[in-house]
A and B are shown apart, each in its own frame.
Chain A
Amino acid sequence: MKVRMQVLSACLLVATAVPAAWSNGGGPEPEMTQRREQTPEEKAKSLYNDGVRNVTKADKFQASVAQLTDAGKKDRATREAQEYYASALKRFQQAAQTNPEMPEAWNYVGYTNRHLGNYDAALSAYAQALTLRPGYPDALEYRGEAFLGLNRIADAKQAYLDLFAGNRQLADKLLVAMKGWLDTQKASASADATAVGEFDKWIQERSTIAGQTAALTRDGAAASWN
């Protein structure tokens, strides 16, 4: 083994010495093919991109679950989704570890944790993302969904209002998630009927307000005049 390494090292030395000799000889310089080392930011981005690929696959499986009727296929799709979320989580955690100043990576640590049912870990990650980038709309929306997962309705409402003021599209998305949560609660025998009823009323009022005031937004103003 030791001998093999010595031979390999010698070969590498020769290989790197040759271009230098050519250069000294005055002939045409060959292209250097040496790779420079990635910066932590570049490594983190690369890991992040791997994670996004996994999340995209996971989301597709997750979305298919609702469409499938066969119980076995549903189970398989759910398992696939969970596996991809778990793989993605690892990448995002590595990315965040490599570049702790990357809010996108923290945001996805939260997103994948949430899909794996780890709500508290998800909230910590969103908090980190929002510390790094105050007002980060995606993190606000995802965190709102995590609050729903934990039945923290007051916090979910606040997340909605934060989004409503600055990003209607994501506010609408959170409202859809709220309606989904409500449907689940209504179907559950153990749900607190009073709390569910109050939240139902709140959602209806916000839906009305959102529908009426589309013209308040940047796009709304432009649509009415441009």
Chain B
Amino acid sequence: MWAAAVVLIWHGAMASDANHTSQPPGGIERAGKSGAAAGHSADYEWHLPRGFPMPAVPPDNPMSSDKVALGRRLFFEPRLSVTGRYSCASCHEPERAFTDGRALAVGATGQPLSRGAMSLINAAYNVSFGWTKREVVSLEQQMLEPLLNEHPVELGLKGREAAVCNMLAADLEYHAEFVQAFPRGASVDGAGDGTRANVAADASAAGPVTFDNLVKAIAAFERTLIAGDSPFDHYVFQGEHEALSARQKRGMEIFYSPRAGCGSCHSGFNFNGNWRDSQGATGESAFANNGVGDQPMRVPTLRNIVLTAPYMHDGRFKTLSAVLDHYAQVARQPSSDPKLRTFDLSPDDRADLIAFLDALTDSQFSGR
């Protein structure tokens, strides 16, 4: 009883004065010298840019450096397709901020998809995945679509899961990498969640080379695709006040002004609204009707945006200038999102804003 009283007083005092609370720090830990966030997650050390929170990692797919290395190799592996010539990287090229430069993505058999390939930059922080689906909430879950979709075919592995696993298991290097990444075999990270991948895993040979593990390894790699070393980051988080030009600073002012209101949709450190990190999600995934079609679309990140042309979910705009023209007028459409507003930009304003968007480019990033 006495001990309990001590504890109660302790909490009482801690909470009694906001200026004197000493709560444990939140999700962001900062490393000493570089000022970058660092953290340990099982067998993996994150090196996060300053201002970036610790990503959320599913408990059934903990990070490890071996798993990330395997996932990276699988990401670029053309044998993970029905033709043997197409990989994840065919639509998500590192030098294009993990997009493909096409208006609409194209599957392994040449079938066009209905939308463009989304950037994978900072996908670790997404609340949901894909242009329209709020219910797809993990990279593991999302990846089943390109791997297994039939209408249209993307990578075209539906019905070939066991064959792919057998092929990888027969490759001595891959087998060794799977053993290292999943040292406890197929059940290493839990019994699965009833997704199609787990069903497929049952059909494959026992051991670590399972479809479920293949998906987990690629997802682990994708979580590491974090870009946050842009001039904007240097300016805002590193305190390098010369990192942005005068034009870019003016563009930043326009971006966050109520007049243009770009920052009200593209909020958050990742410029795509709410996010999910190790503390949980800040809210629902951001969707808005952008005046292109009837359906609300997920607000994409603007990081490395100059590398991801053409723009919008159907790639209808080849330049950022055309995108600005669209958003300056789109609020006139009754179906557009109420957050959108009409605005006028002088030629100088437009140049400033585009210069600012250019400052969101982490040019060192290439899926390291």
A: residues with CB less than 8 A from B are 35-36, 38, 42, 45-46, 48-49, 52-53, 55-56, 59, 103-104, 107-108, 133-138, 157-158, 160-162, 164-167, 202, 205-206, 209, 212-213, 215-218, 220-222, 224-226
Contact of B275 among A45, A166, A213, A221 (CB under 8 A): A221
Complex: chain A residue closest to B257, CB-CB = A212
B297 within 8 A of A: no
B335 within 8 A of A: no
Contacts of A157 in B (CB 8 A): 239
| A to B CB contacts below 8 Å, 26 in the list | A45-B10, A46-B10, A48-B10, A107-B22, A133-B25, A134-B32, A135-B28, A137-B26, A138-B22, A160-B239, A161-B35, A161-B237, A165-B30, A166-B25, A166-B26, A166-B28, A167-B26, A209-B236, A212-B252, A215-B256, A215-B268, A221-B274, A221-B283, A224-B264, A225-B273, A226-B274
Q: How far is the CB of A77 from chain B (nearest CB, A)?
A: 18
B282 touches A222 (CB 8 A): yes
Size class of the B contact interface (CB-based, 8 Å): 35 or more
Contact of B284 among A42, A216, A225 (CB under 8 A): A225
Q: How far is the CB of A132 from chain B (nearest CB, A)?
A: 11
Contact of A221 among B30, B32, B256, B273 (CB under 8 A): B273
Complex: chain B residue closest to A219, CB-CB = B282
B214 within 8 A of A: no
B51 touches A165 (CB 8 A): yes
Q: How far is the CB of B57 from chain A (nearest CB, A)?
A: 18
Complex: chain A residue closest to B285, CB-CB = A225
A213 touches B29 (CB 8 A): no
Q: Which of B9, B32, B252 has the largest count of A CB atoms less than 10 A from its CB? A: B9
Contacts of A218 in B (CB 8 A): 53, 268, 279, 282
A222 to B29, CA, bound (A): 21
B241 touches A162 (CB 8 A): no
7 tightest Cβ-Cβ pairs between the two chains A and B: A221-B268, A215-B267, A104-B22, A166-B28, A226-B283, A49-B13, A224-B267
